[in-house]
């Protein structure tokens, strides 16, 4: 009976996961095709050059925008240490770090000479991260793309125990680790959060290598052009 109940829950979610991943793969192929037709190689070459010479990269944007995927791939490509702000913030069983603990860990990371820091956390050392970085990558994706990414990530966590903060074990994962409040945050990100952080980011437009990606699929072109 328990196996039957598990199958009833697991199968629809697994089919949804396959649908979203398949759709993501198709959109990625379409994006590459459109790019090859538009011939924007000079802009792509400038972005690749900036990333190749970077020592301290921050990747910021809405939840579900593809920050983690991009940062991990860049870490493998550039051999820079990968740092997730979620790993610093979340402890076992989804326990939050205190502000003092989080600031201490983040401050230690920022003092290092090489890293890729991934995560938004605009209320925590946001300006300090921008100042310390030499390359800023903004995942400025649409709300639909962000929501799709959040759902896919949640399914990945529940079905396969992937994309979890390193201190969290599988037993702590709920079927949906996204609450209505979190969904409202993602839906309202471009309307409420983006206007707050955008002017701050633009202050560094001429001081840092600033790369703005309107889709997570845009970064895949870097890997294909190496």
Residue 211 pLDDT class (50, 70, 90 cuts): very high
Mean pLDDT of the chain: 81
pLDDT, one tens digit per residue, over 61-96 is 999 999 998 999 999 989 999 999 988 988 877 788
Q: Which residues, listed in sequence order, are joined to residue 55 by a DSSP beta bridge?
A: none
pLDDT exceeds cutoff 60 at 210 = yes
pLDDT, one tens digit per residue, over 89-105 is 888 777 888 888 988 99
The DSSP symbol for 80 reads P
Q: Identify whether the C-beta of residue 89 lies closer than 8 Å to the C-beta of residue 102.
A: yes
pLDDT exceeds cutoff 80 at 19 = no
pLDDT exceeds cutoff 80 at 106 = yes
pLDDT exceeds cutoff 60 at 176 = no
Residue 114 confidence (pLDDT): 96
pLDDT, average across residues 115-134? 91
Residue 7 confidence (pLDDT): 55
* Phi–psi pair at 141, nearest 5 degrees: -85, 165
* Phi–psi pair at 210, nearest 5 degrees: -105, 120
pLDDT, average across residues 105-127? 91
Q: Identify whether the C-beta of residue 88 lies closer than 8 Å to the C-beta of residue 105.
A: yes
pLDDT, average across residues 146-174? 73
Residue 39 confidence (pLDDT): 56
Residue 1 pLDDT class (50, 70, 90 cuts): very low
Q: How many helices (H) and strands (E) does the chain have?
A: 10, 5
Q: What is the pTM of this model?
A: 0.82
127 or 221, greater pLDDT: 127
Q: Which residues, listed in sequence order, are joined to residue 58 by a DSSP beta bridge?
A: 117, 136
31 or 195, greater pLDDT: 195
Give the sheet arrangement for strand 135-139, strand by strand. Answer: 82-84, 115-118, 56-61, 135-139, 209-213
* Phi–psi pair at 51, nearest 5 degrees: -70, -40
């Amino acid at each position: 009976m328990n196996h039957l109940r598990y199958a009833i829950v697991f199968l629809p979610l697994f089919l949804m996961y396959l649908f979203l991943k398949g759709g993501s793969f198709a959109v990625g192929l379409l994006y590459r095709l459109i790019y090859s037709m538009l011939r924007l190689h000079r802009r792509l070459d400038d972005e690749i050059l900036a990333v190749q010479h970077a020592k301290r990269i921050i990747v910021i944007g809405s939840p579900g925008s593809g920050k983690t995927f991009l940062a991990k791939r860049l870490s493998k490509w550039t051999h820079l240490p990968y740092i997730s702000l979620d790993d610093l913030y979340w402890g076992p069983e989804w326990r939050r770090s205190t502000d003092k603990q989080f600031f201490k860990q983040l401050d230690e990371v920022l003092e290092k000479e090489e890293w890729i820091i991934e995560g938004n956390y605009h209320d925590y050392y946001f300006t300090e991260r921008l100042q310390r970085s030499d390359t800023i990558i903004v995942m400025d994706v649409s709300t639909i793309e962000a929501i799709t990414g959040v759902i896919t990530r949640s399914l990945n966590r529940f079905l396969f125990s992937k994309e979890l903060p390193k201190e969290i074990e599988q037993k702590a994962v709920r079927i949906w680790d996204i609450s209505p409040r979190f969904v409202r945050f993602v839906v309202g990100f471009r309307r409420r959060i983006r206007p707050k952080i955008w002017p701050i980011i633009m202050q560094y437009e001429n001081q840092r290598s600033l790369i703005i990606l309107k889709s997570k699929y845009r970064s895949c072109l870097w890997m294909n052009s190496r």
